[in-house]
Amino acid sequence: MFRKTLKNPQAVTGLSLIVLFLMAALFAPALAPNEPDKIDILAKYLPPGGAFPLGTDGLGRCVLSRLLYGARSSMTIAMPSLAIVGLCGVVLGTSAAYLGGAAERVFIIVCDIFMAFPPLVIAISLVGALGTGIVNIVAAVFFSAWVWFARLVRTWALAEKGKDYIISSQIAGCSRTGIIFRHIIPNILPQCVVFLSTSVASVIIMVSGFAFLGLGFPAGTAEWGAILNEAQANFHTHPEILLYPGFCILLAAVGFNLFGEALRDIVTPEGAGQ
């Protein structure tokens, strides 16, 4: 599977974009030409060039440096929150499917209740309620997203449960937890990875949406959505500052979507069903 991924041009394009943004996030302090939060009112709206490769914003801060640090905010939220979503979703979804009975009914009711809310509504209400901070945003993303993933995992696990090898391992005397963790989960893992990798894109967009609304991050944070929010006041005179962060969000999301989709083609080849 790994070798197949490297041979797929779409996967490689996506992966390079992802690596690019991860590098930007990781090495932001080294790559950034200036301090991202250094305000210099006299140097506002400088054109690109010299010490400021993309110019400066309305407070004289270096646009490029802020964008690089913005990659940090996006990546440090999207990755951990989806890791938790993945872990909970896989455990809850497979357990519900395999155990069946009352456990499954309770699971379905809880899911139906959570699924009655559009994810964005849960997320912005929670971010608003919990206040600013990365942990709070991760929690909000988790609560808005877990149910959609757990429900999918349950469907996949149900399909897996009916297969012969599970029945054989039951006859062979495997324990319930043994079957769930050693047999069902490894077999549905590829689908899970595909789903989570495309979800990174939507989480990046959602989180920058919070920041754009002024929720979740302290004022002045170098986050793509927050930069957009600050730039909108001078949208008529300096639209270029609005363009850069949008491009960053777009490219990061395109990277994860391209990669996730190529991965899906590799995991479920055409004709093998969905």
Partner 1 sequence: MKIQKRGLRAKNRAAMLLIVLFGVSILSFALSAISPIDPAEAYARRTNFLSVTPERIAEIRVQMGLDKPIHIQYMSWLRGVLKGDFGISLTSRKPVTADIAAYLPLTLKLSGLSLLLVAALSIPIAAVCAMRKNGVFDHITRGITIVGLSMPNFWLGFLLLLVFAVMLPVFKVVETGGGLRALFLPALALAIPIASSSIRIFRATILAEMNKDYVAFARARGLSERRVLWMHVLKNALPSMVTMLCQLFGYMLAGCAVLEKIFSLGGLGSYLVDAIIGRDLPAINGCVFVIALIFVAANTFADILNPLIAPRMAGGSVRV
Q: Please give the residue ranges that form the binding site for partner 1 (CB under 8 A).
A: 109-110, 112-114, 116-122, 124-131, 201, 205, 208-209, 212-215, 225, 228, 232, 235-236, 239, 242, 245-246, 249-250, 253-254, 257-258, 261, 274
Nearest distance from residue 118's CB to partner 1, in Å?
Answer: 4
Question: Which residue, 214 or 220, has its beta carbon nearer to partner 1?
Answer: 214
DSSP state of 118: -
Nearest distance from residue 208's CB to partner 1, in Å?
Answer: 6
Separation CA 205–CA 82 (nearest Å): 14
Question: Which residue, 39 or 139, has its beta carbon nearer to partner 1?
Answer: 139
Question: Which residue, 180 or 266, has its beta carbon nearer to partner 1?
Answer: 266
Nearest distance from residue 257's CB to partner 1, in Å?
Answer: 5
E strands along 97-244, which residues?
none
Q: Which H or E run contains 252?
A: helix 239-267
Token output for 121: 């509504």
Separation CA 73–CA 57 (nearest Å): 19
Separation CA 76–CA 134 (nearest Å): 8
Q: Tell how far CA 60 is from the center of its chain.
A: 31
**Residue 100 DSSP SS3:** coil
Question: Which residue, 180 or 203, has its beta carbon nearer to partner 1?
Answer: 203
Question: Which residue, 45 or 117, has its beta carbon nearer to partner 1?
Answer: 117
Nearest distance from residue 60's CB to partner 1, in Å?
Answer: 22
Nearest distance from residue 205's CB to partner 1, in Å?
Answer: 5
DSSP state of 233: G
Half-sphere exposure of 120 (CA within 13 A, CB side): 9
